[in-house]
A and B are shown apart, each in its own frame.
Chain A
Amino acid sequence: MADQEITLMKGNEAIAHAAIRCGCDGYFGYPITPQSEVLETLAEQKPWETTGMVVLQAESEVSSINMVYGGACTGKKVMTSSSSPGVSLMQEGISYMAGAELPALIVNVMRGGPGLGTIQPSQSDYFQACKGGGHGDYHLIVLAPASVQEMADFVDLAFTLAFRYRNPAMILADGAIGQMMEKVVLPPFKPRRTEEEIIKECPWATTGRIGGRKPNIITSLELRSEEMEVINLRIQAKYREIEAKEVRYEEFMLDDAEYAIVAFGSAARIAKKSIEIARSQGIKVGLLRPITLWPFPTEEVKALAGRVKGILSLEINAGQMVEDIRLAVEGKVPVRHFGRLGGIIPDPDEVVEVLKSSF
């Protein structure tokens, strides 16, 4: 059972291996710390000789995302990865893909900003990932892994959701998850779809007019306002469906909790340690970990507000997800934020002190 073998690897490496194993057709990327191991691992693995997967180092992140756009137009399973400054460069292309309703995977291994910032971990791209990021009214489906195992597992999940809704999906990790090594069970091998399967599954794709069908046109352009509004309303209806069906989250020690921490990714791991320390001191606190950041677990946070005396949003940023928590809580209980900036990761003990002083 080689497929079930437990191996030790970095989160970035897990992304690369998972991409090959889940039948990804093409990866297009550009080096940037702290995610370069994704491209390096793919180059080392040479999947073009085994599964036939295309791996191409582009001339920029702008080009990478537009290669993804082109590949996605043809119904292929395509992806890119980058880190914060590079993902900023991709926003135009991501907006086009959302507008043209194309499935694709974008991995952001976040580092601290703004600007060139730092190469240390951060979660300061929450707004960019969850609120559109580029121009226009749109959303990405955003998954937040908190372990190397989830880095591996979320590649296939992201592609599944992206194709289910014809919408780009993002894995929003951070430098810690990307760089740290953990044991991981890689997903089993799944063959790439054949061209015939793609043509059948994606009748909208620009695969050439095989069989003499009518031309397929992929565009986000519509100059007639009345038509453009209809397109926007259709896309918004799709977002409402995703919000209703695809919320994912984890609960940890919430059953008897008097206080709750809401945290995702690396911050959620710190939160678990803080909860352990706090409970040893008699403070009943638990964790709600959003796995999908968009759609956000609004109803779950709302329900939480009816059960606890206060909520702490623990983020490795200056306070971004806390806005979505406050919208869900509607003022029922106090909501505080704590985060460290510039690539500093919060210490579990200081989180406990914040808990004590906040409520």
Chain B
Amino acid sequence: MTREEIIEKGQVVYKKPTLLNDTPMHYCPGCSHGVVHKLVSEVIEEMGMTDKTIAISPVGCAVFAYKYIDVDWQEAAHGRAPALASATKRLWPDRLVFTYQGDGDLACIGTAETIHALNRAENITIIFINNAIYGMTGGQMAPTTLLGMKTATCPYGREVSLHGYPLKITEIAATLDGTCYVTRQAVHTVAAINRAKKAIRKAFEYSMQGKGSNLVEIVSTCNSGWKMSPEKANKWMEENMFEFYHLGDLKDTGAVK
């Protein structure tokens, strides 16, 4: 039976979203980015926003996100994606505008842009991949690196006396009057993937309804940077990352009114 025959008989139970093109991804096997790219693509398609989406990619592993998801993309300078998104959304209010950023980009060099865009209640969504490490540059310490975690620039483990504490920027975002929906998700199981997709959908819908800014953190693995197999990385994330970065909604004011 050929592929076409199977499709004709209506037997397709799953296929990748059309928006996710066939370009081979540069992400490492086991990385969470691929799953999140798929979820973002599915949500844009299901909302019928393919022709009206403007996305902003970061500097970091997702710098090439524009190669994989077939919407219009602007590639920002390191940390500045929320500034680009703010202007873009104000100039094109009926477009779906989101940024896709990692922890180094969003919670370190771009902290000011992140906090202020969120607190201005810009009608945008920030998709925040937190894998507690700088993946693209080779596994250096990130603002979200856990205490005791070893990276290329804290090879003996992160210590408070040397490096200070990991930053819970999503908790900070939840305290801002400008944010509407702030949530922390993961994509390590099918159930988690389903929840993450619902969260992205809700955030995108709120931003289109003009309800303020939205932040969807995805606690992620970086098995290459963490120097673990994909399977072990998922287990380590469950045992260590979730202890510090609790999953679930931190704020949802969109349902009211």
Contacts and interface: CB of A to CB of B under 8 A. Distances in A.
Interface of A: 25-26, 28, 54, 56, 58-60, 62-64, 66-71, 73-74, 76, 78, 92-93, 96, 100, 195, 206-212, 214-221
A216 B50 CA distance: 13
A70 B72 contact: no
Contacts of A214: 70
B51 A209 contact: yes
Contacts of A221: 63, 75
B197 interface: no
A217 to B, nearest CB: 5
A211 B45 CA distance: 15
A217 B75 contact: yes
Contact of B72 (A64, A71, A206): A206
Which of A25, A58, A60, A211 has the most chain B CB atoms closer than 10 A to its own CB?
A58
B184 interface: no
Contacts of B63: 221
Q: Which 6 pairs, one residue from A and one from B, show the smallest C-beta to C-beta distance?
A: A70-B84, A219-B75, A66-B83, A67-B87, A66-B80, A206-B72
A25 B75 contact: no
Contacts of B252: none
A134 to B, nearest CB: 10
Contacts of A63: 80, 83, 112-113, 116
Contacts of B75: 100, 217-221
Interface of B: 50-54, 56, 63, 66, 70-77, 80, 83-88, 90-92, 95, 112-113, 116
Nearest to B73: A217
A208 B52 contact: yes
Contact of B80 (A56, A93, A212): A93
Contacts of A209: 50-53, 70-72
Contacts of B76: 66, 69-70
A59 B66 contact: no
Contacts of A76: 91
A25 B74 contact: no
A171 B208 CA distance: 37
A210 B51 contact: yes
Given A25-B91, A54-B91, A69 B54 contact: no
Given A63-B83, A207-B92, 13 more contacts: A28-B87, A54-B87, A62-B112, A71-B88, A206-B54, A206-B88, A208-B92, A209-B71, A215-B70, A217-B74, A219-B66, A219-B75, A220-B75
Contacts, number: 125
A309 B86 CA distance: 56
Nearest to A216: B72
Contacts of B83: 58, 62-64, 66-67, 69-70
Contacts of B113: 59, 62-63, 66
Given A25-B91, A59-B116, A221-B63, A215 B71 contact: yes
A26 B87 contact: yes
B92 to A, nearest CB: 6
A71 B70 contact: no
Residue with the greatest number of chain A CB neighbours at <10 A, chosen from B50, B76, B87: B87
Contacts of A92: 77
Contacts of B88: 70-71, 73-74, 206
Nearest to A210: B51
13 contacts: A54-B90, A54-B91, A58-B116, A63-B112, A66-B76, A67-B83, A70-B76, A70-B87, A71-B88, A208-B54, A217-B66, A217-B74, A220-B75
A67 B112 contact: no
Given A26-B91, A69-B84, A217-B66, A96 B77 contact: yes
Contacts of B84: 66-67, 69-70, 73
A68 B54 contact: no
A286 to B, nearest CB: 45
A221 to B, nearest CB: 6
Nearest to A69: B84
A196 B17 CA distance: 29
Contacts of B116: 58-59, 63
B87 A71 contact: yes
A76 B91 CA distance: 8
